[in-house]
Structure 1
Amino acid sequence: MKHPFGHLIDTLRSEQYEERRYFNLLKLSDVRYEKLPFCMRVLLESAIRKCDGFYIKTDDVSSILDWQMQQNQAEVAFSPARVLLQDFTGIPAMVDLAAMRDALAKQGVDPNLVNPRCPTDLIVDHSLQIDYSKWPETMIRNQEMELIRNKERLQFFKWCSKTFKNINVVPPDINAVHQVNLEYLCQVVQEGEGFIYPDSVVGTDSHTTMINGLGILGWGVGGIESEAVMLGQPVSLTLPQVVGCKLVGTINPLATSIDIVLGITKHLRQAGIGRKFVEFFGPGVQQLSAPDRTTIANMCPEYNATVSFFPVDDVTLQHFKNTSTDHPEKLVVLEDYLKAIKLFRSYGDQSDEPQYSEMNLSSIVPHVSGPKRPQDRVAVTCMKEDFINCLNEKVGFKGFHISKEKQATQVPFLHEGAEYNLAHGSVVIAAVISCTNNCNPSVMLAAGLLAKKAVEAGLTVKPYIRTNLVPGSGTVTHYLNTSGVLPYLRKLRFEVVGYGCATCVGNTAPLPESVVDAIKQGDLVACGVLSGNRHLEGRLCDCVRANYLASPPLVVAYAIAGTVSINLETEPLGVNSEGKDVYLRDIWPSKEEVNHTEENIVIASMFKELRSRMEVRDYNGSTFWNRLESAESALFPWDPKSTYIRCPSFFSKLSKEVCTPQSIEGAYPLLFLGDKVTTDHISPAGSIARVSAAAKYLQSKRLTPREFNSYGARRGNDAVMTRGTFASIKLQNRLIGKTGPKTLHIPSGQMLDVFEAAERYQRDGVPLIILAGKEYGSGSSRDWAAKGPYLMGVRAVIAESFEKIHRNHLVGMGIAPLQFLPGQNADSLELCGKERFTINLPQELTPRQHTGKSFSVTALFENDMDVAFFRHGGILKYVARSLLL
């Protein structure tokens, strides 16, 4: 078929490289193109290049060009250049593809047809648990345990890497997923199918948005959506508004990129930019290094934006010149191509810049965030006062409701033969982890330089504090070591424990028993301080109630202080050997000192090391991976004894015919939930509690608690994950009136584990719904937060509002996301949660209670594709049926 935009094909020529073909958007001769935000130009190029008249139509191109008039109205399709998976979300996706192969084979269809059609990278990095700490050989011992514990999963990944086409599996002990994305996978300009085009990505890692800091359009999707993209389906999105954020002023020398990102987060949250794209511009942008930009772009989910985009400019180009010296020709092509289609940003001429909201960088001061939510920012100078207020306030998003007479409680305890005291505000976990900051040398070096000065000043960290240093990649360890600061971090007990998500997903080694006993004895509000962007209550450790996000140097500072109940401006961190007070200002490294170290340490050799490891196919140093055996068959040989990999039942009733969605008749609410129910509550990712339904299942398989591993590691087993659904100890279910993973089986009046109640309802043939409040499904993207309820028999969720990605997941599993009308909720409608509901589909969406009372809701199906997925019973069945025809 003749390409509808074939007349735009042009050739890029230079004496420095071979000719490249590309779609020259300037040949549109459309004045609207140059008025488009840069991120919209990336969408437009993809729509033009991929326009096939079926998935992507000429109307999509017209809508994007007419962005000013069509934003928030037109639905467009977008085919990203690649898909990025981490292992926790990647393993269920690959298990689903393996199960789809089985289903097609049973229907007489060649299973080899099931392959990712979009280039897909899967990075194994989330399985690290911290079994050992504060040992010289810590990292090696933790890595050995990781490989032994996850052998079954790794064998499955090895089979995937050999069997599926168009997928690249990066084994463990290479780097964290977002670091691999930033340091190796990102190309800015891709080449394929005879053309060059802008790089773009959708990913299941919560840090996917970091890539926008390098001028690469990318955002997070769930595992269910990623599977659809892998199998050739474009992403459907409502053409977004693009909010310009103008940066002006000069950065405060004491402000790190973490302070900047928290300042921008607050500013944009107040601006109300939910589901929008943000594009940064203005003279202040040039003050931000490429790592600074990726750190800022990483946090856009926290203010509910889809993307925070920094167009490629001279700073970005210089970053790639410093880090990609092995491929100088590619850099010349990159610059020439982006300038040819006007995707290169120049800040020299500001005359044609749009008038957007403006933010002054000089207004930003150091902050931390907590004690329970990232949006609750606290200036460091106000930390002590704010923590005391949290103790006084009633239990809620900030409060702990500790009585006045108990706020001075101190509990003595013994640790390693010495006596210490714990009080409210005592720090028991301090972690610089593989998350937001580790790609940014400036903040990591600041932490190292602060540690150096602290040691030289005679300061120490108390030995009972669980300190961890989990760099995002070997690159970080390399420059910390080369700059000479790593030994000082070690002296303060910040030992490198491995690479991968650990503390922030609840994989922290247990606290010393004496510490846990002291916390429980005094009912203390103990604290964790971490340099990440996730710190929900109870996630780090169930006995640590207050958790604060802070920049890496502040994590080290609070670890030295041993408490968050301190004013770091006026109170000393400690005393030196001479009995002299040492203040934070005495050891805080200057911006000039950090910049000097960064410029002399962050050099191309660091990135060369990663590239050499990635480009050698046997992955030097990963002997365990190389020796792993895996099957050679097109179908995966499922082991019925495996507790890690299990064929799910999603395709058990697959047929060629599409059934009209049946009405939901006589459904009971499985749960009656309030506001801010996160995916952590719905599908926990941390350790498996010994008294949980999942633990009972694993014990029936003759596993001991030591062998349980984590929910994240067992995401390839639907039996574990379904039992782990709503298993959070922090779940607040109004049907039982207390916190815990329990619910009321309404017909019998019994209080049961949520899974056991759902199982009984299913045996009786009773459909289920969930009632909830605002922002249902917020937090990390997790496909099992929708898959688990689906397998439990949940047909619909009725809530005041939904987090966008989780809404997509519900639709993708064939669960109806229904929203109360504005101004209404369960309380205003006088629902007690014990009613039975009938919802007629698709004729009407008016839930009728068993009493005959009815109320209206809005079905949150945003486009025709949503409706198609729901009619088919979810994305997986939709794709499978397309291969059956």
Structure 2
Amino acid sequence: MTIINNTQYRKPLAGSNVDYYDTQAAVDAIKPGAYATLPYSSRVFAENLVRRCDPAMLTDALSQIIERKQDLDFPWYPARVVCHDILGQTALVDLAGLRDAIAAKGGDPSKVNPVVPTQLIVDHSLAVEHAGFDPEAFEKNRAIEDRRNDDRFHFINWTKTAFKNIDVIPPGNGIMHQINLEKMSPVIQNRDGIAFPDTLVGTDSHTPHVDALGVIAVGVGGLEAESVMLGRASYIRLPDIVGVELTGTRQPGITATDIVLAITEFLREQRVVSTFLEFYGEGADALTLGDRATISNMTPEFGATAAMFYIDDKTIDYLRLTGRDEEQIALVENYAKTAGLWSDSLKTAEYERVLTFDLSSVGRNIAGPSNPHRRVSTSDLAKEGISGVVENEEGLMPDGACIIAAITSCTNTSNPRNVIAAGLLARNANAKGLMRKPWVKTSLAPG
């Protein structure tokens, strides 16, 4: 349960039955007009301070944000914790051990629970033993996973009933970040009659996937996640916040993967390590939420900490597409427009550093997987020695042959258009008699 420390600046949210914290009033009380110049991330951090910070240090903490200073740590209380099964299970084992210790001292072990809502998504352990040309591949791989992980899954299932404030998504439902994007994130929280921005820490480097929704999501280690889980503040300093203006529109036939590989190369050259990136501009406005998620998902490949997009009509469309409750959708739009988190409200935001990327410059390209920043245009494959004439011996695998053809990872599967396009390509190739070589192992895996 969220602990509300402050009452100052708490006001009814017009057109709803909940309250909110008027962060603009708090910031402008220190420096008139300052709120209008703050970047999106700064506005979210400021709201967290106004709602949760010790009143004695509130002015000093807000001043760090207003003056763009990085002298003092300030407390950040993420709204929730998202774990995948590996590190999440470790954290729950620690809590179970703490219960044993409490019981040994004569205490009530049932009182040991996460303070902050915690979501455990079991997805990262799936191995593809049976390839996609087997029509029963999914069922067979799931059976192997269940057998190998029987003890682990038994413990995880026990935590669902043993602990409060834990929501477990069982295996076979998809990858952690996609579930977080499509289902788990409300964008705007509504707890104890108070609306506030959804924020989270997650135990995986691609946790910033949901930055595409305007949700600050940061990947952390297991110990920090446990600390947040138990209600402790994560003390941070104001990050470098870099504006990334996206101009132009994509060329026909260019996928989100093409775009993100080009942007990754560009941002790595610009040295954005540990920064918060905020994408905006006409190019960003035109991207679908799926396209934005593909970009945000690559945050660790940029070297950044977060890759944010503003809340706008595309966000609302996506929430409706993914079956969010209409009342919740209305709250997101109402709150974002009231609190200055709607895209139109950010036109006056000022950034210490602005980068510009032209989406119309992106062509077809490939990269990785081990070096995602080493982008190669498809027109240069022969020149780079990647494609060319291969001498085949009947029945033998040639040098340089592909042995794995996989659609996997949250970067690709975050965008349904990419997956559907791959399926259509495969269907059309199959119709023309093109078949995989016998040594190629195919897979479509959620993690």
- TM-score between both structures, scaled by the size of structure 2: 0.91
State the distance in 1 between where 2:349 and 2:86 align.
Answer: 45
What's the counterpart of residue 320 of structure 1? 319
State the distance in 1 between where 2:4 and 2:306 align.
Answer: 30
What's the counterpart of residue 261 of structure 2? 262
Judge conservation of contact 2:36–2:349 (CA < 8 Å) in 1.
no
State the distance in 2 between where 1:384 and 1:236 align.
Answer: 51
State the distance in 1 between where 2:52 and 2:349 align.
Answer: 30
Q: What displacement does 1:89 show?
A: 1.5
Q: State the identity as a percent.
A: 38
Question: Letter of the aligned partner of 1:43 in structure 2?
Answer: F
- Of the three residues 44, 48, 51, the one matched with 1:49 is 51
What's the counterpart of residue 235 of structure 1? 234
Pairing of 1:154-169 with structure 2 (within 5 A): 154-169=153-168
Judge which range, 313-322 or 164-173, deviates more: 313-322
What's the counterpart of residue 225 of structure 2? 226
Pairing of 1:308-707 with structure 2 (within 5 A): 308-324=307-323, 327-346=325-344, 356-370=354-368, 372-387=370-385, 412=393, 419-470=394-445, 500-501=446-447
Judge which range, 97-106 or 285-294, deviates more: 97-106
What's the counterpart of residue 7 of structure 2? 6
State the distance in 2 between where 1:142 and 1:370 align.
Answer: 26
Which structure shows the higher helix fraction? 2
Unaligned 5+ residue runs, structure 1? 390-406, 413-418, 471-499, 502-885
Aligned-residue Cα RMSD (Å) equals 2.5
Deviation sequence 1:470-501 (CA, Å, 0-9, x none): 2xxxxxxxxxxxxxxxxxxxxxxxxxxxxx42
- Where 1:31 maps in the other structure, the secondary structure is coil
Question: Letter of the aligned partner of 2:165 in structure 1?
Answer: N
Q: What displacement does 1:421 show?
A: 3.0
Q: Do the aligned partners of residues 182 and 156 (structure 1) sit closer, same or farther apart at CA in structure 2, a change above 3 Å counting?
A: same
What's the counterpart of residue 250 of structure 2? 251
State the distance in 1 between where 2:119 and 2:127 align.
Answer: 23
Question: Letter of the aligned partner of 1:45 in structure 2?
Answer: E
Q: What displacement does 1:461 show?
A: 1.3
- Where 1:358 maps in the other structure, the secondary structure is strand
Q: What displacement does 1:340 show?
A: 0.8
Q: What displacement does 1:352 show?
A: 6.4
State the distance in 2 between where 1:192 and 1:275 align.
Answer: 31
Q: What displacement does 1:316 show?
A: 1.3
Judge conservation of contact 1:177–1:205 (CA < 8 Å) in 2.
no
- Of the three residues 31, 34, 39, the one matched with 2:33 is 31
Q: What displacement does 1:423 show?
A: 3.0
State the distance in 2 between where 1:127 and 1:272 align.
Answer: 33
What's the counterpart of residue 60 of structure 2? 59
Question: Letter of the aligned partner of 1:44 in structure 2?
Answer: A
Question: Letter of the aligned partner of 1:156 in structure 2?
Answer: F
Q: What displacement does 1:433 show?
A: 1.2
State the distance in 2 between where 1:440 and 1:451 align.
Answer: 17
Deviation sequence 1:5-61 (CA, Å, 0-9, x none): 5231110232xxx5111111232234211211011111111111112359x855323
State the distance in 2 between where 1:352 and 1:53 align.
Answer: 26
Q: Do the aligned partners of residues 351 and 93 (structure 1) sit closer, same or farther apart at CA in structure 2, a change above 3 Å counting?
A: closer
What's the counterpart of residue 279 of structure 2? 280
Q: Do the aligned partners of residues 34 and 351 (structure 1) sit closer, same or farther apart at CA in structure 2, a change above 3 Å counting?
A: closer
Q: Do the aligned partners of residues 350 and 182 (structure 1) sit closer, same or farther apart at CA in structure 2, a change above 3 Å counting?
A: closer
Judge which range, 196-205 or 26-35, deviates more: 26-35
Question: Letter of the aligned partner of 2:62 in structure 1?
Answer: V
Judge conservation of contact 1:190–1:197 (CA < 8 Å) in 2.
yes
Deviation sequence 1:689-737 (CA, Å, 0-9, x none): xxxxxxxxxxxxxxxxxxxxxxxxxxxxxxxxxxxxxxxxxxxxxxxxx
Question: Letter of the aligned partner of 1:26 in structure 2?
Answer: Q
State the distance in 1 between where 2:162 and 2:319 align.
Answer: 34
Q: What displacement does 1:351 show?
A: 6.9
Question: Letter of the aligned partner of 2:13 in structure 1?
Answer: L
Q: What displacement does 1:108 show?
A: 4.8
Q: What displacement does 1:387 show?
A: 3.8
Query: Greater RCO between the two (CA within 8 Å, min separation 6)?
Result: 2
State the distance in 1 between where 2:5 and 2:285 align.
Answer: 39
State the distance in 2 between where 1:352 and 1:164 align.
Answer: 42
Question: Letter of the aligned partner of 2:38 in structure 1?
Answer: L
State the distance in 2 between where 1:352 and 1:375 align.
Answer: 30
Q: What displacement does 1:356 show?
A: 1.8
Q: What displacement does 1:442 show?
A: 1.5
State the distance in 2 between where 1:226 and 1:378 align.
Answer: 37
State the distance in 2 between where 1:311 and 1:183 align.
Answer: 17
Q: What displacement does 1:466 show?
A: 0.8
What's the counterpart of residue 207 of structure 2? 208
State the distance in 2 between where 1:63 and 1:185 align.
Answer: 31
Question: Letter of the aligned partner of 1:64 in structure 2?
Answer: I
- Of the three residues 99, 123, 130, the one matched with 1:132 is 130
Deviation sequence 1:166-217 (CA, Å, 0-9, x none): 1111111222211210111111111113311111111113321110011111
State the distance in 2 between where 1:147 and 1:256 align.
Answer: 35
Question: Letter of the aligned partner of 1:176 in structure 2?
Answer: I
